[in-house]
Amino acid sequence: MRRIQAACRMQRTMPYSNPTATIFIIDDDADIACAAQLLLRRRFGAVHTLTDPAGLTALLSKAHPDVVLLDLNFTPGRIDGSEGLALLDQLQQRPNPPAVIAMTAYADVPLAVSALKRGAADFITKPWDNEHLISTIRAALTRRCAPTRSLATQSGSNFGLIGNSRTMADLRTMIASVAPTNANVMILGENGVGKELVARAVHDASDRSGNTFLSVDMGALPDSTLESELFGHRKGSFTGAQGERAGRFQAARGGTLFLDEIGNMSLSAQSKLLTVLEKREVTPLGADRPVAIDVRIVSATNLDEVKLYQPNLFRSDLLFRLNTIVIRVSPLRERTEDIPELLEHYLHHYQQQYQRAARPITDHALTRLCQYPWPGNVRELRQACERAIILGPNVDYASGYEFHDFGLSTASSAPVVTSTGTVNTDNVRLEELEREAIAAALSNAQGNISKASKALGISRPALYRKIEKYDI
């Protein structure tokens, strides 16, 4: 009854969305179907409810739906979703099929993902947030009315991801399937594999692509400023708050918020983020009322997936909010067939950036580069290419790049034990390469921090931190 009363209150305040659209609500719980109907009937055209799926054929003979809200389980005791998935298949086979939004309890999110793979436009969890339900239906209608692109066409796009390996093909297909939905996405992978590039690809292939993609390094936000940075603040809310500031959630309104290094957050910070995701609203510091948010959350971490399930490191309730869809990005050592194309791409990029003549890679060097384990993944390869362009011998342009031009360690990647503990020689070498790249970029930019940070692809504050770290 409370859900129905809430729906009635909402319908007096929310505007019409699409007065010509026809909505079907198929759910065996009459209260849920009624609550949804009360919420939707003054925002759309005709809204029909159906509590017995056996009546779907008769209902389809009377009206053609634009959007169907479909429960996945009907018979008491059934939890496999086979009934709902069968109805989904039936609706997909119709001429000009409707956009189907699966409705499921939160614990059944994997079942909803199965529905997405079988053609559902999106899904919502019960009990739903009214504004979120409205925006989900609106987005489904927009996609249905817009010119469509086949999955094959989307998969044919490389999304800016370089490589023709089977691994990369599977990754592009995954992005093409997931991007059009509003499902939260968690990207897993080692440092340097390109998790932010994948996040941007998800955004660019989504209906939110015309709006903001905002990246936040969660590991770099101290707990003392996290609320101000993410949720915003009002003037005078704390010492130094000279004016009003919108937080990242508000700045990314209508777009995608990429929460990078999510695994480095403290448990207290995780609790604050969980509250926002549950309520879909933020309260800026110093404000007396919350502000609704409309963002898609894409997160990423380099934490081992097993560690994410350790409660002393990561809250399980937050994890289940973030990892509706999990995209795993393979390390470069597992897709070595992509290395030649990556080398060609980055060498060409830095040759143009530093105005150096093109040079080939010798066959011997290419063989060794393909055998190299690349502990720093694509980031290390990119830095190695930049180093070869900047520091490699440029006297004889006819000669090709040799392996030593890339500044890669030939030592074993096994850790060594010193008097102060265990040190990974790869990490040490990576820091040497990073220091050399920063020094070279500063030299090339004649000390101009803005130009150097742009050339390195990092922010000015990040460059200042690295300059201090390496005492450059």
Query: pLDDT exceeding 90 applies to what percent of the chain?
Result: 32
User: So what's the pLDDT on residue 429?
Assistant: 56
At residue 175 the predicted structure's pLDDT band, cuts being 50, 70 and 90, is: very high
* Averaged pLDDT for residues 237-262: 79
- Residue 410: pLDDT above 70? no
Give the tokens for residue 171: 């990754």
- Residue 83: pLDDT above 50? yes
Residues 6+ positions from 307 with CB-CB distance below 8 Å:
263, 313, 314
Question: Hey, what amino acid is at 386?
Answer: E
Residue 121 has a CB neighbour count (10 Å cut-off) of 24
- Residue 319: pLDDT above 90? yes
Note whether 141 and 99 are within 8 A (CB).
Answer: yes
At residue 160 the predicted structure's pLDDT band, cuts being 50, 70 and 90, is: confident
At residue 214 the predicted structure's pLDDT band, cuts being 50, 70 and 90, is: confident
User: So what's the pLDDT on residue 262?
Assistant: 93
- Residue 290: pLDDT above 80? yes
Integer angstrom CA distances of residue 128 from 134, 162, 233, 334: 10, 39, 28, 41
* Averaged pLDDT for residues 222-232: 82
User: So what's the pLDDT on residue 166?
Assistant: 92
- Residue 415: pLDDT above 70? no
Identify the weakest region by mean pLDDT among 70-84, 152-166, 267-281, 297-311: 152-166
At residue 10 the predicted structure's pLDDT band, cuts being 50, 70 and 90, is: very low
* Averaged pLDDT for residues 80-99: 88
Residue 402 DSSP code: P
Per the model's pLDDT, the better-predicted residue between 409 and 206 turns out to be: 206
Give the tokens for residue 338: 């992509």
Residues 6+ positions from 449 with CB-CB distance below 8 Å:
442, 460, 463, 464
Domains of the chain plus CATH, in order, are 2-145 (3.40.50.2300), 159-330 (3.40.50.300), 332-408 (1.10.8.60), 419-472 (1.10.10.60)
- Residue 4: pLDDT above 50? no
Per the model's pLDDT, the better-predicted residue between 469 and 257 turns out to be: 257
The listed range with the strongest mean pLDDT (106-120, 269-283, 383-397, 401-415) is 269-283
User: So what's the pLDDT on residue 171?
Assistant: 93
* Averaged pLDDT for residues 150-156: 38
Measure the N-to-C terminal CA separation of the chain; round to a whole number of Å: 66
User: So what's the pLDDT on residue 48?
Assistant: 94
- Residue 423: pLDDT above 60? no
pTM above 0.85, yes or no: no
- Residue 224: pLDDT above 90? no
Beta pairing partners, 188: 301, 328
User: So what's the pLDDT on residue 448?
Assistant: 80
